[in-house]
Amino acid sequence: FLREYNPITNPFLHELRVHIFRRDTYLKKGKSISNLNEKKKLYLIAYKENLILEKYFSHTIEKSTYRWNTDIPQEIEASIDKSKAYESPVSANLFTSFSEKRMWIFILFILIVMGLVNFIYYANERKRK
């Protein structure tokens, strides 16, 4: 799968599948381990990866077999601290990855620049007349 759908040719599918793989792998490891602290760490990773899937890939996994049923998150939520920060390493090395906040700042910046260019252009046009 990873050779066929690599991050260059199919970034969406690649990232989706790697998040699913991480979520399912850490859930499975968490279920098989007896150490409570280690179980919490593994469950936290699985839980946070699932949140990423629900936020960014919800339409894709909604009707698929990869969607978690409601029992799994409840089982995990009972044993983890949901407020803990988590940054997924999936596609972290891509130079195109940026936060949602940065995206909106960039869009706002572009709109301001376009507005200024428009204002200057029409001000110059009025001076010519």
pLDDT one-digit tens code per residue, 109-120: 999 999 999 999
Q: What single letter denotes the amino acid at residue 122?
A: Y
pLDDT one-digit tens code per residue, 42-74: 999 999 999 999 998 999 998 888 898 777 877
The closest of 6, 19, 31, 21 to 55, measured between CA atoms, is 19
CA 67 centroid distance within chain: 16
The pTM (predicted TM-score) of the whole model is 0.67
